[in-house]
Chains A and B, each alone.
Chain A
């Protein structure tokens, strides 16, 4: 029961758990839309694209305050998103190639900048590399407040525009015929995904952040055929994975947080794939067996 007591009373662990719950919630909720719109890899590219932004923000200001670093991350990811749109719209390069280009170029630039900062001997630089794989143990109160505000804004907007986002994701041509500004809604939804990514990179890291968008959503889809339920369930799965992974990481094991959170989320996905009430393998197998027996039984009777 010691981890539970720590969760309630230990200041550090409480921050870590809160921060991870926030990132899991917002990642899971928005990830549902990313997955349904087949934009899982967009999240991956945008997550990688945040790294140079974090570095440049630090180099310009010398500050490691979460608000400044995350602002840099968001601007950099936004730049990446614009670049993808420009490449897809203005050249014959297709979306997958454009995503690949942005992911590798931005991440490469980020690593170069990280190395440069490390070599510059700036005493304040230690710890920026935590953005690669995430380090939940370094989450302090200021981080939790920043993450919480960003996540709350994203979730409120998602709730407000839920009907519009659903229509946009299911049938954009029909949405346009009703007069909804499809392009603007697209930009807004992508911006919210950027916010989810930015909230998560400190704890999970840019390399694995996409998993926090994709895995809980894929798991939630196995349990329901309703979008609203899927989004809530995905948020809950994300939050639970975040808290479990971060607690294991922060309770002295010194393992990087991102991979641990992702492993927990993957466990949830595996269980869901097997047992999910709507689409799980086990139920499908049982139903198939029952149907076969019924059909054969009927055939034999006639």
Chain B
């Protein structure tokens, strides 16, 4: 007698990195990095320039083949689980003079579900409008994207990721070059995603805000320095280990 197979238990971690080593040419950028992100957490990935943060994202998303190890998303390789992932690239990575408006950019988040050849229609427009409302940008829907401020552009990118209706969000420096008010609005948004059961991984630069914003932190400097809940592993010792030297403005963090 065969048992009816039920759906697999959702035990798999949203993001698991095991023994990843990655190199450009002969220069290793990541060395034997392993960690596991539990579901429903806000996770910061910090480390000095060249620590391999962007490379880590590339490996996770299958844009770069690691020399060893592997990364899985909900227990599967990224290519099998990409519908569960929303991605927010760095704002500086695109040309904001491109002839398009805010609503159109947000609709791009639905292109994956639309698949080949099909054009976005009314349903997609409504969905995108909803996401714009969630980031407080509805009134800018028809605005040419170069006429938005840096903070507004960042929120457009977040709205595009919202449209993907993901369970894991990978965001690359969403706070870069935005003012204090926008930063607060973005943090609020990330917390909403978490409250809705999502997991958010943020490549982050500002060490001072890590304890305020995040539940967990991954401290990286080519190898993994530490990973875990912020209050346990975000210590002066670990941070100066990663950044090599005294990190004075963290005096109060311990």
> A residues engaging B (CB < 8 A)?
36, 160-164, 166-167, 169-171, 173-180, 221, 224-227, 230, 278
**Residues on the A chain within 8 Å of B79, using CB:** 179
Q: Which of A162, A170, A221, A226 contacts B108 (CB 8 A)?
A: A170
> B residues engaging A (CB < 8 A)?
61, 63, 79, 82, 85, 87, 89, 93-95, 98-101, 105, 108, 111-112, 114, 116-120, 144, 160
> In the complex the two chains form, is B120's CB within 8 Å of A225's CB?
no
Q: Knowing that A174-B160, A226-B100 touch, tell me 16 more A-B residue pairs with CB under 8 angstroms.
A: A163-B117, A164-B116, A166-B100, A169-B98, A170-B95, A170-B105, A171-B93, A173-B63, A177-B63, A177-B87, A177-B89, A178-B112, A225-B99, A225-B100, A225-B101, A227-B99
B168 to chain A, nearest CB (A): 12
Which one of A170, A174, A224, A227 has the highest number of Cβ atoms from chain B below 10 Å of its Cβ? Answer: A174
| Complex-state Cα separation, A175 to B120, whole angstroms | 15
> In the complex the two chains form, is A178's CB within 8 Å of B111's CB?
yes
**Residues on the B chain within 8 Å of A166, using CB:** 100
13 contacts between A and B (CB under 8 A): A36-B98, A164-B111, A173-B93, A177-B61, A177-B82, A177-B87, A177-B89, A178-B111, A224-B99, A225-B101, A226-B100, A227-B98, A230-B99
Per DSSP, chain A at the interface is helix
| Complex-state Cα separation, A175 to B105, whole angstroms | 12
**Residues on the B chain within 8 Å of A180, using CB:** 111-112
Q: Which of A171, A179, A278 contacts B112 (CB 8 A)?
A: A179
**Residues on the A chain within 8 Å of B119, using CB:** 162-163
> In the complex the two chains form, is A177's CB within 8 Å of B85's CB?
yes
A33 to chain B, nearest CB (A): 11
> In the complex the two chains form, is A163's CB within 8 Å of B120's CB?
yes
Q: Which of B61, B101, B108, B120 contacts A171 (CB 8 A)?
A: B108
| Complex-state Cα separation, A287 to B30, whole angstroms | 52
Contact A167 B89, CB 8 Å, known A36-B99, A224-B99: no
